Structure formats: C-alpha cells, structure tokens
Amino acid sequence: MSPGMSPLQRMGRWIGQHLVLAGGILVLIYMFVPIFVVVLMSFNDPKSRLVYRFDGFTLQNWLNPCADAAMCSAVSRSIQIGLLATLIATVLGTMMAFALVRHRFHGRSVANLAIFLPMASPEIVLGSSLLALFVAAGFAGQLGFWTILIAHIMFCLSFVVITVRARLAGLDNNLEQAAMDLYANERQTFLRVTFPLVFPGILGAALLAFSLSFDDFIITNLNAGNTTTFPMYVWGVAQRGVPMQVNVVGTVMFVISVAIVVGVELNRRRQEKALAR
C-alpha cells in the first residue's frame, strides 16, 4: 500500500498475508480430517471387527443402522435425555438470562458466579460431586435415566444462560420503546418484539444444549448406573471392536446440526434483506 516499499518488502508482505490465511486453512483442515474419516468409515466394509481401518465400500451400514440393537436403544435413550434436558435447561436458562439482563436486584454478582463456576470445573469433578450427593442421599441403587437427566440439565444451564444473555445484551432497546410508544402493553411488546428478536439466541442455546447433552461422557458415566447412553456405548465397543454403524450416527448428527446452523444463518440473512428493503 505505502509507496515507499521496496519490492522485497512488498513480496515479504504478500507472503506474510497469504501465509497466515494458508495457515488458518490448514488448521481448519486439521479440524475436519476426523469428520472425513467418520463419513468414510460409515461406508466401510470391515474384514474384522478388531482392526479399525477402511477395507472396502458398502452401503450396508446405512441400510441396517440397527444391526446392533444395543446401539440403537442407546441412541434413542440419548435423544430422549437430550430433548428433555434441552427443553428444561433452555426454559430455565432463558428465564435466568432475562432476569440478569433486564432486572436489577441484589445478588447479581453471586448469580453470575454461580453460572460461571460449573463451566470452570472439570467434568470429572462435577460428575463425582453429583455422584457423592446421590450416594449420600441414598439413591446409589437408582442411578440411571433420571440422575443422568438431572446432571445434564445442570451443566447445560450455564451454557444456555451465557448464549441467551449475549443475544439479549446486544439487543436494541429502541425497538421495544417504539412498540410501547405505539400503545403495545408489556405482554404484547414481549410477544411481538422482544421474544422474536431473542429467538435465534434461544435456538442457538438449545442446539448447543442438545449437542452437549448428547455428547457427554464423563459426567454421565459416573451417574448412569446400568443405563447406557450413546457415548457410553461407543466407549464400551471401543475396547472390543467398533461396529461401523457408530459412524453412521456420527455422520447423521453432523449433517443435521450443520443443516440447522446454515438454515438459521440463511433465514437471518433473508430477514435482514427484507428489513433493508
């Protein structure tokens, strides 16, 4: 840009600029290599259950996803827990986010700390303290679906609060003021203006909560008793031979969540264009 640069400096600068971008793209590729492997292995025709490598192409894994019934029941249990945990954590977390952004009261900093701490604790500590509580309260024999659900709601809650809070804090207050000026009451303003504006944040939080819940292993493993979720199933088969259907589940999860993220983004752009017109 500056005219005083020697050709050598200019060349150095060109390399510098593109080197960083190239480095960034290489890091992105590093992040995606395992995803390619997951997709590839979902079409794998393994010769032996014990050797984990690509032996040949087949559609069998996709046609018979439930060849191992234990896997499908683990997946459906994970989905049930994930949906329930997402629903409850999203409702409670959104309420908390509204309280923290829109209302002034005593003890806000304590509330903020209580929301931050679960995210700053290693999962193994969160899981073992919950197990200690369940055992001390006499629920050692009843570990299972409900104790997993309780744990998942607990660790999803903080992530929901910070996601929705970020969206709420970035909201333009003038829009709500305008609605009130136009004689909308508080309820109408909330339903017609505030909620639709915050909704993408809530949806993002719900998506995050579901994937956190569906994916959790360490906390779940401590509090599951004899119940098996999908990550626990994968953990179990990792020791004795992995059925390729596990990769089908991984691929489906990836495709669905990317579709949701892209859909939300496209919808946002469409709305922005409509507003600009």
Residue 148 in the binding site for another protein (CB under 8 A): no
One residue of 3, 50, 53, 240 binding another protein per CB under 8 A: 53
| Window 204-243: contact mask with another protein (x via CB under 8 A) | -------x--xx-xx--xx-------xx--xx--x---x-
* C-beta of 153 vs 193, nearer to another protein: 153
Q: Which of the stretches 37-45, 57-65, 79-87, 191-199 binds another protein when contact is defined by CB under 8 A?
A: 37-45
- Paired tokens of 1: 């840009």
| Footprint on residues 62-91 left by another protein (CB under 8 A) | none
**Cα(245)–Cα(266) distance, integer angstroms:** 31
Q: Which of the stretches 22-30, 55-63, 66-74, 193-201 binds another protein when contact is defined by CB under 8 A?
A: 22-30
CB of 187 to another protein, least distance (A): 12
Residue 115 in the binding site for another protein (CB under 8 A): yes
Residue 195 in the binding site for another protein (CB under 8 A): no
One residue of 31, 50, 69, 274 binding another protein per CB under 8 A: 31
CB of 205 to another protein, least distance (A): 13
Neighbours of 8 (CB within 10 A): 8
* C-beta of 68 vs 123, nearer to another protein: 123
| Footprint on residues 152-181 left by another protein (CB under 8 A) | 153-154, 157, 161, 180
Residues 6+ apart with CB under 8 A from 241: 48, 49, 50
Residue 254 in the binding site for another protein (CB under 8 A): yes
